[in-house]
Amino acid sequence: MTVAFWCVLIALLLPIVCTSIAKFSSGRYSLGRNHDPRAFLDTLEGLPRRANAAQLNSLEAFPAFAAAVIIADILGNAEQVTQDVLAVLFITSRLLYIICYLADWAMLRSAVWFVGLGLIISFFVVSA
């Protein structure tokens, strides 16, 4: 399996990390509250709320990234090392994005988000 495909798995797991931070950093979560987790997450404020927002954004970013990796692999026009580097850079940008969201660095978070979008677009450009 390629590094790029492993990065798809990592991207799939990032929302779980974010939601865990949201739930457990609130100090109010317990497994007994898991009957309606979305309602619980809607009540959060501060860092836990931002972690939940990062989770939602990670879920939104995942399909485009996964599709870009798969399309690049199927087309085979880009060197595998190029695909792998782009994928690692995307995961790095997502980790930075999550850190920026948790730290409430809005402007930097937006800049990092655009970098991630550019990396997804790059998969299509190098595969053309």
Tens of pLDDT, residues 112-127: 999 999 999 999 999 9
Question: Is the per-residue pLDDT at 6 higher than 80?
Answer: yes
Which 8-state DSSP code applies to residue 32? Answer: G
Q: Which CATH architecture best describes the domain 3-127?
A: Up-down Bundle (1.20)
Pairwise CA distance, residues 90 & 113, whole Å: 10
Pairwise CA distance, residues 52 & 38, whole Å: 10
Pairwise CA distance, residues 39 & 111, whole Å: 30
Burial of 126 (0-12, 13-18, 19+ CB in 10 A): middle
- Model confidence pLDDT, tens digit, residues 21-50: 998 888 777 666 677 778 888 888 999 999
Residues of the chain with pLDDT > 90, as a percent, come to 83
Show me where the domains of the chain are located: 3-127
- Residue showing tokens 């990032």: 14
- Model confidence pLDDT, tens digit, residues 65-111: 999 999 999 999 999 999 999 999 999 999 999 999 999 999 999 99
Which 8-state DSSP code applies to residue 27? Answer: S
Q: How far is CA 65 from CA 29, 123, 128, in A?
A: 31, 9, 16
